[in-house]
Amino acid sequence: MGSQGGFYQSKEFLDLVKSIGEARSKAEEDRIVLNEIETLKRRISEPDIPKRKMKEYIIRLVYIEMLGHDASFGYIHAVKMTHDDSLLVKRTGYLAVTLFLNEDHDLIILIVNTIQKDLKSDNYLVVCAALNAVCKLINEETIPAVLPQVMELLAHPKEAVRKKAIMALHRFYQKSPSSVSHLVSNFRKRLCDNDPGVMGATLCPLFELIARDVNSYKDLVINFVSILKQVAERRLSKAYDCHQMPAPFIQIKLLKILALLGSGDKQASENMYTVVGDIFRKCDSSSNIGNAVLYECICCVSSIYPNPKLLESAADVISRFLKSDSHNLKYMGIDALGRLIKISPEIAEQHQLAVIDCLEDPDDTLKRKTFELLYKMTKSTNVEVIVDRMIDYMISISDNHYKTEIASRCVELAEQFAPSNQWFIQTMNRVFEHAGDLVNIKVAHSLMRLIAEGFGEDDDNADSKLRSSAVESYLRILGEPKLPSVFLQVICWVLGEYGTADGMFSASDITGKLCDVAEAYSNDETVKAYATTALMKIYAFEIAAHRKVDMLPECQSLMEELLASHSTDLQQRAYELQAVIGLDAHAVECIMPSDASCEDIEVDRDLSFLNDYIQEAIEKGAQPYIPESERSGMLNISNFRNQDHHEASSHGLRFEAYELPKPAVQSRIPQALIASTEIVPVPEPMYPRESYQTTMPSIPSDAGSAELKLRLEGVQKKWGRPTYTPATSTSNSTSQKTVNGTSQGDGASTVSSMRETYDSRKPQVEVSHEKQKLAASLFGGSSKTEKRPATGHKAAKASSHMVEKSHVPKSSMEVASDKAASAQQPPDLLDLGEPTATSTALQLDPFKQLEGLLDTTEVASAVNGAPAASISPDIMALYVDTAAGIHNKNDADLLSGLSNPSVTNMPGTTAMPQVTQSSSKRPNPKDSLEKDALVRQMGVNPSSQNPNLFKDLLG
Amino acid sequence: MIHFVLLISRQGKVRLTKWYSPYSQKERTKVIRELSGLILTRGPKLCNFVEWRGLRVVYKRYASLYFCMCIDEDDNELEILEIIHHYVEVLDRYFGSVCELDLIYNFHKAYFILDELLIAGELQEPSKRTVARLVAAQDSLVETAKEQTSSITNIIAQAAK
C-alpha cells in the first residue's frame, strides 16, 4: 500500500515524540514541551527555511497544540504555508490552520484570499483542501466572499468536490441561515445527484432545513420514501454496504428526515408505513449497524402518525433490545421505550422488570437513561417512589452538572404531581439539603410562596398545620452541619414568618436558632441578612402581641457586630431592627403586620403625597419638572418614545407577554399598534404582540394533551389541596382512559393471561421480591389512577371505603404468602410490608398502619386545635394510598410470572455485535513486530513499557 | 452533529483531537481531562456511551486506544459507534493493520483521513472505498513532489506495506 506508513519526520521530531511518550509525569512532559516551544520559536523565525523543514515545524506545532500547549506564535507561519504553490505544503498548511484557528480568529482574514484562489484551482485536490478549510474557518462575515465560488462548485465534475461544496453550504446555513436561504433549491437539486455520496451529503443540510420549517418540504416526502425504498432494496453500489446492510448511514439520515416530515401529518405518514415496515423486517439485528437502523426506525415510528402494525414491530424490537446482554442495546432500548411510551403507555408494563434491572445496574450511564425514562412516565400514582429514587441517586453522585439536572427534575415532578403538600415540603427539603446550591433560586422562592399562600383555598387550619410542620422540620434540620445557602434562606424566612405563629415554640427558641445560623454561616451575607430580617419579624410579632421582649445576649452581640458591618445591607437591617424594637405595639403592627407576606403592597406611582411639598417649592421659585421626553427637541423620536412610555407606565414593567390574555389588554393593543405605526413606519413592535395574541389562547388547550408529563389526569392542581375538584375529575376521566390505555379491569386480565402463558413455558425463576414491589409501585400504579379521580371527594370517601373493604382481605393474604417467600422487605418501597411481621395479625395490618397514620395526624391536629373534620381529606388521601399500595402488591405477585423472560431469556445469539469483524483482514502480528523492530532501530520507543504488547487496533 | 473527536491512549495520553465546535485551548484541556477520567475508568462490560454536560460521548476501545466522539443528545449512538469503527477500518486499510504507533508518528495522516470522512461534524462519505481512493490520490500527488527520501524511510515504508 505504498509508503504511507513510513515515518517521514526527522530524528528530532521522533525524539520529541519518544521523550514525551516516556515522560513519567505531567510536569516532565510539560518541561519537554516548553523546551520544544523555545526551540521552535527560535528556529521558525530564521530566514530561508527549506519548505520541507518548515512543514515539519508546523507539524510539530500541531503536536504541541494537541498536547494542550499554546502554539499561537506559529499560527502566522501556518497561514503563510497555505499560500504555497506545492500541494504537499499547502495541504499541511490547511490542516494546521483548521486545527489552530477558530472561526473568529483575526488571522482568518489573511486566509480568505488564498481560499478564494484555491477554490478556482483546476486541481480538484486543491479545491478539496480549500473546501475543508472553508467548512472550519469561514464565519458569518466572510461567507459572501466565498459563496459564489462554492455555488459554482456544486456543478463540479468530481463528486468529491460536489460533496464538500454541499457540506460547506450546510455549514454556512448553520452559521447564518439568511446568507444561503435563497439557495435552498440547490439542495433539492443535489438530491438527485448521480453519486450516492453526494446525495447522502445533501441529506445533512436538508435535515436541518426541514427541522426548522417542515411545511415547505412536504412535497419531498415521496422522493425521500422512494430513495429509502431503493436503498433498502440494495439498489446502491456494494461500496456503500456496511456489515451486509445497504448504505445504513443514508438509511438513518432518511429515517430521521421522515420522522420530521411525518410528525403529526397523517397523509405524509401513510406514505411511509410500507417502507418503514420493510426496513423493520429486513434489518439484521445481529450487527451493530443493523440495530442502529432499527433504533432509528423506532424513533421514526414514534414520531410519525401512529400505525398499530408499526408500533407492534417497534415494541418487538424494544423488547429484543431490553433482553439483550449488551449494555449498549439495553441503553438504546430504554431510550426507545421512552419515545414509544408517549404513544402507547401500556408498553411499559411488559418491560417493567427489565427497566428495574437497568435502574439497579452498576453502569451509571444506563442508570441515568432509566431515570430519564422514569421521569417521562411519572404519574401521580408513582411520583413518590420515583422522586424518592431520584433523590437517593442524586445524593450518591458527585457530578454537579447532572446533580443540577436531576434536582430540577425532582422539583418539577414534585410540583406537578405532589400527592400532598406535606410530602412536597419534605421532598423539597431533601432536595435543598443535598443539592441546595445547585437548585435554581426560583424554586426556593416558590417553596416560600407555597408555605405562605398555603393551599390556595380558604382552609386556614390546614394552612397553619402545614406551616407548623414546616417550622418543626426546619428546626430539626438546622441541627445538621453545613447546609446550602439557598436552603438556609428558605429556613430563615419561614422561621421568621411563622416560627412563633402557632405558639409551639417561644420567641427565644426561634431567635436563638436564628442567631446560631447567623453565627455559623458568618461569611454568607445573604443568609445573615435573611436571619436578621427574620429576627426583626419575630420581635415585631412579640411586640405587637404585647409581650415583653427580651433580647438574647447572643442576639445582642450579633446586632452589635452587624451595626458595624462592612455590608451596608446588613447594617441597614440591623438599624431597622433596633428601630422596630424601640417602637410601641401599634406602630409595629403597621410596619410588620403578621402573616402579610402575600398581601399586595400598594404603590402610589404618581407620588401624590409629595404634591404639597412640590407646590411649596414652586411657589418659592423652583423650576417645575419637565419629563425627559419633553426636554429634547426631536419631535418625531420623542413622540414615539412618549407613546412607548405611556404604554409602559400603564403596565408597570413590561411583562405583558407573559401574562394571560385579558380582554382589557387586548382591547388596548390595537390602539397602540395603530398609533405606533402611524408615527413611525417601522412594523417591528407589531410582531411580538400579534403573535402573542394569536398563540396564547391555544396553549392552554394543547398543554393538556400534547405531552405525557403534562397530563395531570385526575391530579389536583399544582398547589391544590390533596383532593379533587369535581369539575376537573369528571372532565378528565374520559380522556384519561385513552391516555392510560388500560383500565383497571383490563390490566388485571392481561396480566393474568400473561402469567398463564409464561407459567406453561418455563419453570419459575426467582426474582427478588424487592424488584417486584418496585415494579408494582412504578408500573402497577396505572390501575390506581382510575380509582382516584372518581368524583368529588365526598363521594370518593364512600366509594373508596367500599373498594377498600373488598380488597383488603384478599390482598393481605397475598401479603402473607409473599412474606413467607421472601425474608427481606425493603422499607423504602412500601412501608406496608413492615407491620405484617406476625402472620396472626395479618388481616388487620393495613388498618393498623392506617390507625398509626390517623394517630399522628390527630395529634398534630389536636395541637393545632383544628376541628377533626378539616383534616379528613388528608386522612382519606392516606387511606386511598394504603389501599392502592396493597393492590399494587397484588399485581406484583401476579406479575412475578413475568420474571422469567427478562432474567433467563438470553439466547446465545446476542454476541457482541461490534466484535463480529467486517474487515476480512486478520491482524498481522508479523507486521507489527517488524514495525517495532524498526522503531527500536531508530532509537525510538513507543510510549508503553513493552512494545510487544502493542496489538493491532483491530486485533 | 459531532462536536469533537478524541483519541486517547489507555494511559490518558492524547493521540488526536479534532474540534468541530469552538472550544478555547483552556476548555479543550479541561474537556480532555474530564473525559479521560470518565472514560478510562469504565469497566469493559458497560455501555459505550457516557453522558457528559448534557451531551453524549460515544467511545470505543481498540487495543490500547480509545476513540471518543461527542454528539448531541438526540443523535443515534449506535450510528456513531459504527462511524468510529468505519474510521478505524479506513485507517487499517491505509496503514495496513494499523497500530497505535502508526497514529503516534503519523497523526497528521490520521487527520487527513478524518477530514475525508467527517466534515463540519457530519459524516460526509459512507463508502470506505471512496475515502481510501481520495486519500491515495492526495498522497500520490504528494509522492511526486517529495524529495528523495532517506534510506531509513524506505525501510519503514516497506515494512508498513
Q: What is the CATH number of the domain that holds B152?
A: 3.30.450.60
DSSP assignments along A62-97, one per residue: HHHHHTT---GGGHHHHHHHHT-SSHHHHHHHHHHH
Tell me the average pLDDT across A373-386.
83
Question: A272 and A289 in contact (C-beta within 8 Å)?
Answer: no
Residue B81 structural domain: 1-158
The residue behind cell 498481522 is A924
Dist CA B95 CA A7 (whole Å): 12
Tell me the average pLDDT across A895-918.
41
Give the per-residue pLDDT at A928: 61
Residue A510 lies in a domain: yes
Residue A710 lies in a domain: no
Give the per-residue pLDDT at A286: 84
Nearest to A573 by CA among A628, A533, A544: A533
- Chain B residues with beta carbon closer than 8 angstroms to that of A52: 147
End-to-end CA distance of chain B: 35
More confident residue, A549 or A889: A549
Chain B interface mutation, best of A1, A4, A335, highest count of B Cβ atoms under 10 Å: A4
DSSP assignments along B128-152, one per residue: HHHHHHHHHHHHHHHHHHPPPPPHH
User: Is A683 in a helix, a strand, or coil?
Assistant: coil
The answer to whether the CB atoms of B107 and A87 lie below 8 A apart is no
- Chain A residues with beta carbon closer than 8 angstroms to that of B124: 163-164, 167, 197, 201
Question: A770 and A824 in contact (C-beta within 8 Å)?
Answer: yes
Q: Which residue in the set B22, B85, B146 is minimally distant from A914, CB to CB?
A: B85
Residue A577 lies in a domain: yes
Give the per-residue pLDDT at A729: 38
Phi, psi angles (nearest 5°) of residue B122:
-125, 155
For residue A419, pLDDT over 80 is answered with: no
Dist CA A673 CA A368 (whole Å): 50
The answer to whether the CB atoms of B115 and A9 lie below 8 A apart is no
User: Is A195 in a helix, a strand, or coil?
Assistant: coil
Tell me the average pLDDT across A195-202.
87
Residue A630 lies in a domain: no
Dist CA A925 CA A929 (whole Å): 6
The residue behind cell 378539616 is A870
The answer to whether the CB atoms of A328 and B88 lie below 8 A apart is no
Strand pairing class (B55-62; B49-52): antiparallel
Q: How far is B131 from chain A (nearest CA, A)?
A: 9
Residue A12 lies in a domain: no
Chain A interface mutation, best of B82, B87, B89, highest count of A Cβ atoms under 10 Å: B82
Q: Which residue in the set B48, B62, B157 is minimally distant from A5, CB to CB?
A: B157
Number of domains in chain B: 1
Question: A866 and A469 in contact (C-beta within 8 Å)?
Answer: no
Nearest to A876 by CA among A790, A806, A935, A793: A793
Question: B146 and A55 in contact (C-beta within 8 Å)?
Answer: no
Dist CA A250 CA B114 (whole Å): 19
Residue B105: partners with Cβ closer than 8 Å, 6 or more residues away? A7, A9, A14, A17
Question: A447 and A425 in contact (C-beta within 8 Å)?
Answer: yes
DSSP assignments along A392-420, one per residue: HHHHH---HHHHHHHHHHHHHHHHHH-S-
Residue A563 structural domain: 472-599
C-alpha cell at A923: 491482524
Strand pairing class (B55-62; B2-9): unpaired
Q: What is the pLDDT of residues A708-763, one digit of tens each?
A: 444 444 444 444 444 444 443 334 444 444 444 434 444 444 444 444 444 444 44
Residue A511 lies in a domain: yes
Radius of gyration of chain A, Cα coordinates, nearest whole angstrom = 36
The residue behind cell 432494496 is A233
Strand-pairing partners, residue A316, are none
Give the per-residue pLDDT at A234: 83
Residue A572 lies in a domain: yes
Residue A552 lies in a domain: yes
Q: What is the pLDDT of residues B114-158, one digit of tens each?
A: 998 898 888 888 888 888 888 888 887 665 544 444 445 555 666
Q: What is the pLDDT of residues A603-647, one digit of tens each?
A: 777 777 788 888 888 888 888 887 777 766 544 444 444 444 444
Dist CA A466 CA A864 (whole Å): 10
Phi, psi angles (nearest 5°) of residue A724:
-120, 130
> E strand or H helix at A435, and its extent?
helix A421-435
User: How long a stretch of residues is chain B?
Assistant: 161
Dist CA A818 CA A359 (whole Å): 23
Amino acid at residue number A782? S
What DSSP character marks residue A567?
Answer: -
Helices (H), A680-743: 686-695, 698-706, 726-740
More confident residue, A591 or A693: A591
End-to-end CA distance of chain A: 19
The answer to whether the CB atoms of A953 and B100 lie below 8 A apart is yes
Give the per-residue pLDDT at A767: 59
Dihedral sign, CA of A758, A763, A769, A770?
negative
For residue A840, pLDDT over 50 is answered with: no
Give the per-residue pLDDT at A843: 45
- Chain B residues with beta carbon closer than 8 angstroms to that of A6: 149, 153-154, 156-157, 160
Q: What are the Cα distances from residue A198, in Å, to A30, A158, A289?
A: 44, 10, 21
Dist CA A571 CA A562 (whole Å): 6
- A-B interface: how many C-beta pairs under 8 angstroms? 289
Question: A898 and A753 in contact (C-beta within 8 Å)?
Answer: no
More confident residue, A739 or A260: A260
Tell me the average pLDDT across A871-898.
43
Question: A485 and A444 in contact (C-beta within 8 Å)?
Answer: no
Dist CA A92 CA A30 (whole Å): 25
Dist CA A928 CA A856 (whole Å): 75
Tell me the average pLDDT across A101-124.
87
- Chain B residues with beta carbon closer than 8 angstroms to that of A68: 14, 25, 28-29, 32
The answer to whether the CB atoms of A921 and B92 lie below 8 A apart is yes
Residue A4: partners with Cβ closer than 8 Å, 6 or more residues away? B94, B95, B106, B109, B139, B157, B160
The residue behind cell 392542581 is A717
Helices (H), chain B: 25-39, 77-95, 100-105, 107-117, 128-145, 151-159
Q: Which residue in the set A167, A296, A947 is minimally distant from B122, CB to CB?
A: A167
Q: What is the pLDDT of residues A150-160, one digit of tens each?
A: 988 988 888 88
Dist CA A158 CA A161 (whole Å): 5
Q: What is the pLDDT of residues A328-362, one digit of tens each?
A: 898 999 898 888 888 888 887 788 788 888 888 88
Positions of chain B with pLDDT lower than 50, given as ranges: 145-151
Report chain A's mean pLDDT, rounded to a whole number. 71
- Chain B residues with beta carbon closer than 8 angstroms to that of A921: 92, 97
Chain A interface mutation, best of B3, B52, B81, B104, highest count of A Cβ atoms under 10 Å: B104
Dist CA A361 CA A619 (whole Å): 83
What DSSP character marks residue B45?
Answer: T
Give the per-residue pLDDT at B25: 84
Number of domains in chain A: 1
